[in-house]
């Protein structure tokens, strides 16, 4: 026997092992605003995922409540204009798909009393008002295939299902006909039928649908489908099945073959559900109602030509969709309930509070990984105990938080919305798919079955199996029926052993042949796939070697670029240094230029001052303007020219000082004297002396009273004439000479190399 005997949810260990591989899915919350006709709504839907509170007048607010408008975000927000179809499509279709695929889901409505929970879940029979539950039933029955006749699957103890033999199922069906529920068909006679059909059901499975309906009232569970004895329902216990899943012990699972029939069962339960009129809602739910739709599936038998399951209960898969309409929270002060209503309200509030506590603890446990996680208080309320399976990873959970924007509900809505928003942070493990997807398609077997049947019938098995009589009894006194069955069984047992073993052998042979044929086709398919993959691999190899080559050439280029980059960096560095040098030179040139300008603009500086200025210049080692040579002192009225220029030059210490010419352009070749142009710098106010000694000035000389850099650039020589008068009234004229030389940085400097001095002595002084 398989370890998973009853075909319910997989064993706990298996679930645990799988969980580590499965992904988690957060509890999803959608919010629905019910219509409000007043002028002061306390809630508005901003967009499809956000709802905002609006501060109502102070009388509606509790003391100490936050005085700010708050925004809450949910998976989806339905405004008052969104009708039941929109809500259904967004909240239920994917859960139905889960059900068809063998997974569980829980969908529950939550909110303050009178906020539209029951309307959302059940609604009314018209097209626009039909709620989630009837629509869900319609879509399930639209979408399943291979639905079995009733009574093939049957519920047994410990929340499990078994498979009946064909005969037993037939007899059970006959028995059921007498046992049928007597229910009013008022609500479902002309109701709206949801036409949506979805894919997802595995057609190699057969199925049956069961529903159960329980309520949790004053923290006790009741089966709403139970035949009430003396007008009261039995309190039911919550128990754990073999897989540690919680279920309501003794609650009936009723098999239904259509959505109409399922709704009849639902309506029967609704009649028994506790609903009372309160100040805030004339049809207020006083209990939490739990309507469960179970889809029981088993692989389709290959043996039978009709729709039948395999004869192995261990292969049964049961998935369930639990639709819960919670009772609304309510403040006693507002409802002014007393007696039973007050006790109900306390119990409702208590169970909702435990639900919040469980969510809080789950959230805390998930926030940080703890060695000893906090215990979740599921058992403190029947509601949370029943929800435990889902909260611990037995399926998808979705909450529909219903809110009424009327200002009276402001405070309670705030707290309900905060709880709902927080719930979204709780993660629940996604359940693994349990329906096999790799079975040999039944259609394939059917084809081979019929062909081999023909062969075996024609050639091998000529013995005739007796035809089965109608296998049912009209009543316990139906002696004819009993006799017919007895005859049939005797005929069967009278068949020779040889015939029996031949037919067994044939059946086995047929099975093997079909499998072999199927495998041949499968091998053919695999070969094709392999060929395709081989081609793909060859193609990919081609790409691979092409990319390898490209990679190599790219590598080489990168190396080259890196080298170039390095060289460029170095060149940049050199240029930067050069630039700094040039800037220094320009700075000192400007300074020297300023000094020259100062000399020029000052009409009578003494030679000593001039010298001291030029001597100062020595403090700027890179400055091209150097101290002029010391005046060549000669007594008398003679003009002396320094005969040896190089002598004077050396005495001036200009060019001989190593390093002083560092900035002069080393490549500069002095043009011949005749070719160079003279920049003749004359003072503005010159004292005419009428001397016979005249300096020789070439005709192309540039004459200036204030030299400019432009002029300097055009000249090869520079000559400055300067006059001074001593205390005795003697006039001396100094002619300072220099070469204009370009600097290495692209500037121009003057290298002074000679001074001529002409003195006039006044005869009167003599
Ligand atoms: N979206 C809606 N459109 C139209 N009517 C609505 C809507 N939501 C609620 N209603 C109406 O508001 C009233 C109260 O709604 P309902 O009974 O569903 O509230 P509830 O939340 O289930 O209350 P309780 O918790 O007391 O059972 C009902 O008459 C219902 O028809």
Tokens 């906090």, residue located: 374
Q: CA 59, 65, 68, 72: dihedral to nearest 10 degrees?
A: -110
Tokens 């059909």, residue located: 197
- pLDDT score of 705 more than 80: yes
* pLDDT tens for each residue of 439-450: 767 766 666 666
Q: Ligand 1, closest atom to CA 121?
A: 18
- pLDDT score of 173 more than 60: yes
Rounded Cα gap, residues 547 and 614, in angstroms = 72
Cβ atoms 723, 756 nearer than 8 A: no
Query: 280 burial class (0-12, 13-18, 19+ CB within 10 angstroms)?
Result: buried
Find all residues with CB under 8 Å of 133, minimum gap 6, and list them.
121, 122, 266, 291, 323
Greatest mean pLDDT among 191-200, 225-234, 445-454, 664-673 lies in 191-200
Cβ atoms 69, 438 nearer than 8 A: no
Find all residues with CB under 8 Å of 608, minimum gap 6, and list them.
none
Q: Is the CB of 345 under 6 A from ligand 1?
A: no
Please compute the mean of the pLDDT values over residues 431-458 and round it to a whole number.
Answer: 68
Please compute the mean of the pLDDT values over residues 336-349 and round it to a whole number.
Answer: 69
Rounded Cα gap, residues 247 and 236, in angstroms = 10
- pLDDT score of 154 more than 70: yes
Question: How distant is the alpha carbon of residue 600 from its chain centre?
Answer: 79
Q: Is the CB of 131 under 6 A from ligand 1?
A: no
Helix axis angle, 93-100 relative to 84-91, nearest 10°?
40
CB atoms within 10 A of CB 39: 6
Q: 404 C-alpha vs ligand 1 centroid, how far in Å?
A: 9
Tell me the pLDDT band of 675, cut-offs 50, 70 and 90: low
Q: Is the CB of 745 under 6 A from ligand 1?
A: no
- pLDDT score of 181 more than 80: no
Rounded Cα gap, residues 574 and 82, in angstroms = 74
Q: Are strands 76-78 and 28-33 parallel, antiparallel or unpaired?
A: parallel
Please compute the mean of the pLDDT values over residues 190-203 and round it to a whole number.
Answer: 91
Among the listed residues 714, 705, 700, 701, the one whose alpha carbon sits nearest the alpha carbon of residue 684: 705
- H helix runs in 188-258, sequence order: none
Q: Read off the DSSP letter of residue 24.
A: E
* pLDDT tens for each residue of 220-256: 999 999 887 777 888 999 999 888 889 999 999 999 9
Tokens 């259609």, residue located: 443
Question: How distant is the alpha carbon of residue 416 from its chain centre?
Answer: 27
The answer to whether 371 is annotated as binding is no
Please compute the mean of the pLDDT values over residues 633-652 and round it to a whole number.
Answer: 35
- pLDDT score of 205 more than 60: yes
N-to-C CA span, the chain: 150
Percentage of residues of the chain with pLDDT beyond 90: 39
Q: 328 C-alpha vs ligand 1 centroid, how far in Å?
A: 11
Please compute the mean of the pLDDT values over residues 615-638 and round it to a whole number.
Answer: 41
Tokens 């019929």, residue located: 450
Q: Is the CB of 34 under 6 A from ligand 1?
A: yes
Q: Is the CB of 116 under 6 A from ligand 1?
A: yes
Rounded Cα gap, residues 744 and 55, in angstroms = 81
Please compute the mean of the pLDDT values over residues 465-477 and round it to a whole number.
Answer: 63
Cβ atoms 320, 103 nearer than 8 A: no
Rounded Cα gap, residues 115 and 329, in angstroms = 10
Q: Is the CB of 36 under 6 A from ligand 1?
A: no
Find all residues with CB under 8 Å of 143, minimum gap 6, and list them.
96, 100, 197, 198, 199, 200, 201
- pLDDT score of 748 more than 50: yes
Cβ atoms 221, 215 nearer than 8 A: yes
By three-state DSSP, how is residue 568 classified?
A: helix
**Which of 118, 270, 288, 327 has the most ligand 1 atoms within 8 A of CB, as the residue to mutate?**
118
Among the listed residues 581, 572, 573, the one whose alpha carbon sits nearest the alpha carbon of residue 747: 581
Tell me the pLDDT band of 725, cut-offs 50, 70 and 90: confident
Please compute the mean of the pLDDT values over residues 145-167 and round it to a whole number.
Answer: 92
Tell me the pLDDT band of 754, cut-offs 50, 70 and 90: confident
Q: 277 C-alpha vs ligand 1 centroid, how far in Å?
A: 13
Task: Return the pLDDT at 635.
Answer: 35
Task: Return the pLDDT at 659.
Answer: 38
Tokens for 541, please give them: 């190899």
* Cα distances (angstroms) measured from residue 352 to each of 213, 273, 275, 337, 394: 20, 19, 18, 18, 21
Tell me the pLDDT band of 518, cut-offs 50, 70 and 90: confident
Q: Is the CB of 111 under 6 A from ligand 1?
A: yes
* Higher pLDDT pick, 263 / 244: 263
Least confident of 290-294, 339-343, 589-593: 339-343
Among the listed residues 732, 689, 737, 740, the one whose alpha carbon sits nearest the alpha carbon of residue 713: 740
Rounded Cα gap, residues 419 and 401, in angstroms = 10
Find all residues with CB under 8 Å of 501, minimum gap 6, and list them.
none
Task: Return the pLDDT at 369.
Answer: 75
- pLDDT score of 436 more than 80: no
Tokens 């007899």, residue located: 171
The answer to whether 354 is annotated as binding is no
- pLDDT score of 189 more than 80: no
- pLDDT score of 56 more than 90: no
Tell me the pLDDT band of 331, cut-offs 50, 70 and 90: low
Tell me the pLDDT band of 620, cut-offs 50, 70 and 90: very low
Q: 253 C-alpha vs ligand 1 centroid, how far in Å?
A: 29
Cβ atoms 349, 329 nearer than 8 A: yes
Q: Mean of the per-residue pLDDT values for the chain?
A: 79
The answer to whether 114 is annotated as binding is yes
Please compute the mean of the pLDDT values over residues 369-397 and round it to a whole number.
Answer: 89
Q: Is the CB of 129 under 6 A from ligand 1?
A: no
Please compute the mean of the pLDDT values over residues 362-387 and round it to a whole number.
Answer: 88
Task: Return the pLDDT at 271.
Answer: 84
Q: Is the CB of 400 under 6 A from ligand 1?
A: no
Least confident of 338-352, 435-449, 520-534, 545-559: 435-449
Task: Give the pTM.
Answer: 0.62
Q: Ligand 1, closest atom to CA 280?
A: 26
Please compute the mean of the pLDDT values over residues 304-330 and round it to a whole number.
Answer: 88
Rounded Cα gap, residues 697 and 543, in angstroms = 84
String of DSSP letters for 101-140:
TT--EEEEEEEBTTSSHHHHHTB-SSTTTB-HHHHHHHHH
The answer to whether 116 is annotated as binding is yes
CB atoms within 10 A of CB 650: 14
Q: Ligand 1, closest atom to CA 325?
A: 22
Q: Is the CB of 57 under 6 A from ligand 1?
A: no
Q: Is the CB of 401 under 6 A from ligand 1?
A: no
Task: Return the pLDDT at 452.
Answer: 60
* pLDDT tens for each residue of 536-592: 999 999 999 999 999 999 999 999 999 999 999 999 999 999 999 999 999 988 988
Q: Is the CB of 329 under 6 A from ligand 1?
A: no
Q: Is the CB of 402 under 6 A from ligand 1?
A: yes
Task: Return the pLDDT at 261.
Answer: 92
User: Max Cα separation, the chain?
Assistant: 181
CB atoms within 10 A of CB 324: 21
Percentage of residues of the chain with pLDDT beyond 70: 73
Among the listed residues 94, 148, 108, the one whose alpha carbon sits nearest the alpha carbon of residue 257: 148
Please compute the mean of the pLDDT values over residues 207-216 and round it to a whole number.
Answer: 95
Tokens for 25, please give them: 């899915």
- pLDDT score of 179 more than 70: no
Rounded Cα gap, residues 389 and 409, in angstroms = 32
Task: Return the pLDDT at 750.
Answer: 84
- pLDDT score of 454 more than 70: no
Helix (H) or strand (E) holding 532: helix 497-601
Q: Are strands 105-111 and 205-217 parallel, antiparallel or unpaired?
A: unpaired
Question: How distant is the alpha carbon of residue 582 from its chain centre?
Answer: 58
* Higher pLDDT pick, 471 / 256: 256
Task: Return the pLDDT at 184.
Answer: 45
- pLDDT score of 116 more than 70: yes
Least confident of 7-16, 246-255, 308-317, 585-594: 7-16
Task: Return the pLDDT at 59.
Answer: 62
Task: Return the pLDDT at 22.
Answer: 47
Question: How distant is the alpha carbon of residue 53 from its chain centre?
Answer: 28
Query: 118 burial class (0-12, 13-18, 19+ CB within 10 angstroms)?
Result: buried
Tokens 């399926």, residue located: 395
Cβ atoms 614, 626 nearer than 8 A: yes
Cβ atoms 394, 62 nearer than 8 A: no
Three-class HEC string of 43-79: EEECCCCEEEECCCCHHHCCCCCCCCCCEEECCEEEC
* pLDDT tens for each residue of 66-92: 677 899 999 999 999 999 999 999 999
Q: Whose CA is nearest to atom 1 of ligand 1?
A: 34
Q: 288 C-alpha vs ligand 1 centroid, how far in Å?
A: 15
By three-state DSSP, how is residue 674 classified?
A: coil
Q: Read off the DSSP letter of residue 558.
A: H
Q: Whose CA is nearest to atom 14 of ligand 1?
A: 114
Task: Return the pLDDT at 16.
Answer: 40
The answer to whether 636 is annotated as binding is no
Q: How many helices (H) and strands (E) does the chain have?
A: 17, 27
- pLDDT score of 468 more than 60: yes
Cβ atoms 108, 399 nearer than 8 A: yes
- pLDDT score of 458 more than 60: no
């Amino acid at each position: 026997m398989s370890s998973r005997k009853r075909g319910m949810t997989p064993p706990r260990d298996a679930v645990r092992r799988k969980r580590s591989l499965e992904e988690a899915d957060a509890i999803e919350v959608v919010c629905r605003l019910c219509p409000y006709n007043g002028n002061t709504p306390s809630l508005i839907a901003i967009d499809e995922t956000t709802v905002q509170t609006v501060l109502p007048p102070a009388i509606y607010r509790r003391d100490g409540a936050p005085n700010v408008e708050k925004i809450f975000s949910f998976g989806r927000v339905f405004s008052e204009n969104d009708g039941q179809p929109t809500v259904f499509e967004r909240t239920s279709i994917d859960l139905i798909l889960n059900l068809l695929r063998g997974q569980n889901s829980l969908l529950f409505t939550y909110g303050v009393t009178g906020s539209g929970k029951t309307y959302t879940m059940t609604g009314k029979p018209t097209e626009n008002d039909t709620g989630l539950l009837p629509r869900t039933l319609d879509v399930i029955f639209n979408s399943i295939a291979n639905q079995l006749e009733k009574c093939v699957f049957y519920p047994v103890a410990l929340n499990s299902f078994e498979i009946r033999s064909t005969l037993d199922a037939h007899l059970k069906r006959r028995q059921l006909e007498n046992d049928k529920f007597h229910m009013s068909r008022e609500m479902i006679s002309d109701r709206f039928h949801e036409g949506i059909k979805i894919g997802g059901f595995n057609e190699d499975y057969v199925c049956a649908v069961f529903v159960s309906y329980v309520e949790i009232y004053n923290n006790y569970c009741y089966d709403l489908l139970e035949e009430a004895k003396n007008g009261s329902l039995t309190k039911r216990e919550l128990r754990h099945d073999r897989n540690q899943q919680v279920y309501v012990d003794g609650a009936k699972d009723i098999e239904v073959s259509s959505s109409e029939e399922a709704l009849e069962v639902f309506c029967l339960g609704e009649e028994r559900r506790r609903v009372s009129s309160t100040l805030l809602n004339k049809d207020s739910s006083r209990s939490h109602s739990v309507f469960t739709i179970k889809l029981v599936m088993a692989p389709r038998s290959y043996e039978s030509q009709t729709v039948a399951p395999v004869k192995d209960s261990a292969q049964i898969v049961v998935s369930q969709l639990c639709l819960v309409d919670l009772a609304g929270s309510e403040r006693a002060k507002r409802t002014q309930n007393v007696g039973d209503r007050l006790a109900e309200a306390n119990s409702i509030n208590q169970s909702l509070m435990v639900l919040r506590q469980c969510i809080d603890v789950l959230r805390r446990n998930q926030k940080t990984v703890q060695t000893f996680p906090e215990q979740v208080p599921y058992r403190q309320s029947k509601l949370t105990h029943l929800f435990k399976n889902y909260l611990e990873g037995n399926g998808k959970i979705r909450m529909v938080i219903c809110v009424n924007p009327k200002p009276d509900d402001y405070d309670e809505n705030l707290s309900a919305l905060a709880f709902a928003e927080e719930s979204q942070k709780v993660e629940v493990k996604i359940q693994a798919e349990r329906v096999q997807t790799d079975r040999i398609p039944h259609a394939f077997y059917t084809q081979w079955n019929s062909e081999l049947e023909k062969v075996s019938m024609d050639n091998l098995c000529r013995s005739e199996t007796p035809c089965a009589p109608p296998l049912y009894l009209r009543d316990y006194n139906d002696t004819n029926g009993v006799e017919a069955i007895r005859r049939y069984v005797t005929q069967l047992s009278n068949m020779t052993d040889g015939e029996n073993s031949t037919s067994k052998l044939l059946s086995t042979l047929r099975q093997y042949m079909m499998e072999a044929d199927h495998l041949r086709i499968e091998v053919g398919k695999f070969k094709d796939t392999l060929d395709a993959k081989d081609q793909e691999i060859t193609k990919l190899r081609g790409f691979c070697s092409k990319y390898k080559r490209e990679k190599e050439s790219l590598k080489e280029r990168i190396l080259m670029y890196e080298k170039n980059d390095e060289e460029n960096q170095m060149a940049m560095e050199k240029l930067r240094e050069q630039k700094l040098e040039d800037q220094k030179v320009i700075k000192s040139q400007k300074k020297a230029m300023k000094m020259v300008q100062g000399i020029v603009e000052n009409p009578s500086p003494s030679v000593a001052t001039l010298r001291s200025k030029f001597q100062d210049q020595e403090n700027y080692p890179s400055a091209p303007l150097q101290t002029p040579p010391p005046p060549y002192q000669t007594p008398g009225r003679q003009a002396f020219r320094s005969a040896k220029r190089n002598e004077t030059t050396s005495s001036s210490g200009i060019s001989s000082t190593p390093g002083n010419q560092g900035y002069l352009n080393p490549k500069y070749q002095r043009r011949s004297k005749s070719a160079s142009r003279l920049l003749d710098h004359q003072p503005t106010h010159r004292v005419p002396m009428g001397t016979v000694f005249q300096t020789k000035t070439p005709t192309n000389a540039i004459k200036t009273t204030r030299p400019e850099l432009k002029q300097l650039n055009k000249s090869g020589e520079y000559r400055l004439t300067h006059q001074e008068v001593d205390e005795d009234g003697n006039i001396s004229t100094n002619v300072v000479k220099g070469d204009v030389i370009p600097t290495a940085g692209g500037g121009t400097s003057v290298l002074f190399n000679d001074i001529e001095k002409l003195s006039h002595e006044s005869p009167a002084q003599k």
